[in-house]
A and B are shown apart, each in its own frame.
Chain A
Amino acid sequence: MKKSIVSALLLGVVLLFLYLPIVILAVYSFTDSTTIGAIRHFSLSNYRVLFTTPELKHMIGGTFLLAIGSALLATLLGTLGAIGAFYSRRVGKTTISILNQIPVINADVVTAFSLCIMLVVVCGVDKNTFFPLVIGHTILCAPFVYLSVTPKLKQMDSNYYEAALDLGATPLQALNKVILPHILPGILSGFVLSITLSLDDYFVTTYTKPATFDTISTYVVNATKGEQTEIKTALWALSTVIFIIVVIAVWMMNILAKNAEEVQDYEAI
């Protein structure tokens, strides 16, 4: 009994450390205070600024567009890469997995710096074309798609593919009807992971973005340097909105995953 109290206390303290700042900021986002601790009145002005300032709306829209676009590209490349590598001979497989591992373990600053030097300084690509930015975000995400698809391929029974061929399917049909449905959970989790990685990125964005474009990360960092309190407190509202969206999304994915498991259990019987 005593033991369980101690462990609950410990988990509680760590959770408090993780969530207290976000929750405090959420509470203050609903007031007209400009600093934490000063007790003021209830106000929705932060949310009004957040949803009506064109600059903020563009920045948020651009961030999500970039995240979805580069996640789609990364998912396509990473999935094809994983399938191809899985059925390649040893040398090909090793080469891809080593190259794939570089952006994963490399520091983001180094990935961003090296890509910018190559594309912008050496090849003279204009940052305003958004090409370096999209490539940068795809580089950041695709390796994780590869890593989440590969285990699903390993788990698959290779006889299914052979059976499909024996029954008259073309290799392309067998790929579409047998392999892809099997690895779909891996592809989906790779896609979701890609979106969150892109949304969280600061370094690749700063080194490759056009000067007039900002994502949430670069915008927040610049805003905290300036002294515009109206924007500063509107960002508290943004933090709260994102927190709520993430909680709902994670909660829903949890339910979906549980349902999928039940369906699988049912099918197994």
Chain B
Amino acid sequence: MYFSRKNLSIPYIIFLLAFVAAPMLVVLYYAFTNGEGQFTMTNFIGFFTSPNTIGTLLYSIMIALSVTVLCLLLAYPSAYLLARLHGHKKPILLMLFVLPMWINFTLRITALKEVLTTLEGNLAFHPFLNTVIGMTYDFLPFMILPLYTVLEKLDTSLMEAAADLGANPVQVFLKVTLPLSVPGILSGITMVFLPAMTNYVVLDMMYNSTYIMGSLISSYFSAYDWHNGSMISIVLLLIIFVLTIATKQFGDEANENRGTVL
């Protein structure tokens, strides 16, 4: 029998077409049709004119921005310091920062919730703050990892050269280190921003009753409203599309890094 290496990908291609591409087309179809199967823009117009759904979109973006900024503020210095470490402590410390990724997030959020409840008395007093803390806790390793990968690869002689040429440490950081680590920052943002807009489980567990985009899909799904659920999916896909275009040239590299973390 004739054997060709490229034919090995046929099962995977069929799998991807059937269970990745086809569902996207189904969602696209549902988003632009009504119950009778006729083409309509009602779902789309409805989403962008209703104060409720627009409010949800804005609230999601606010949560996602806060989580992303907080993750960056915690992850950048950590990743920077980790990358500059030497000796046998380095792999162990790196492992410590990445290890929480392997523990089920609902269990980790349960742990955080118990601690926050003890500290605050009642979680319901600060729903926004608790959600941001919860998501930061959940997503932080996903921000540290791409930043570390980029910072670790940085050629330190560039920084030394800048210092030799008279730049002070702040200037070296702002003019050399920071610009060179932009790919890591961007891929960290793509790994945190979108989950923060959609992970309604963290939100629910923190007793935050305000909806984010993920909660909308969930509530339409429970109401058997496939059309509006699909509409929200399309809106999220548009946001993903914009994010991907914005970070395109760096995306592949960053995801390969995630794949090879072990």
Chain A neighbourhood of B114, CB < 8 A: 21, 24-25, 28, 35-36, 236
B197 near A107 (CB under 8 angstroms)? yes
Bound CA span A82–B4, Å = 14
Chain B neighbourhood of A25, CB < 8 A: 110-111, 114-115
Could you give, for residues 170-204 of chain A, a 1 whenever the CB lies within 8 Å of some chain B CB and a 0 otherwise? 11100100000000001011101100100110110
Contact of B15 among A142, A193, A196, A202 (CB under 8 A): A142
B110 near A14 (CB under 8 angstroms)? no
| Given known A24-B111, A36-B114, A84-B6, contact A142–B102 (CB-CB < 8 A) | no
Closest to A76 in B: B11
B204 near A221 (CB under 8 angstroms)? yes
Interface residues on B, range: 35 or more
B47 at the interface (CB under 8 A from A): no
| Given known A20-B115, A151-B256, A224-B110, contact A250–B217 (CB-CB < 8 A) | no
B13 near A96 (CB under 8 angstroms)? yes
B93 near A84 (CB under 8 angstroms)? no
Would you give the shortest CB distance from A189 to chain B, in whole angstroms?
4
Bound CA span A181–B140, Å = 35
A105 near B16 (CB under 8 angstroms)? no
A122 near B26 (CB under 8 angstroms)? yes
Bound CA span A37–B118, Å = 7
27 A–B pairs (Cβ distance < 8 Å), ordered by A? A15-B97, A18-B137, A18-B140, A21-B108, A22-B103, A24-B111, A36-B114, A81-B15, A87-B4, A92-B6, A95-B13, A99-B16, A99-B21, A101-B251, A101-B252, A105-B194, A110-B27, A110-B233, A117-B27, A117-B230, A118-B22, A200-B102, A200-B104, A217-B105, A239-B110, A242-B103, A250-B95
Given contacts A108-B199, A189-B261, A239-B111, 10 further A-B contacts (CB under 8 A): A21-B111, A24-B114, A84-B8, A85-B9, A99-B21, A102-B21, A110-B233, A114-B23, A200-B101, A221-B205
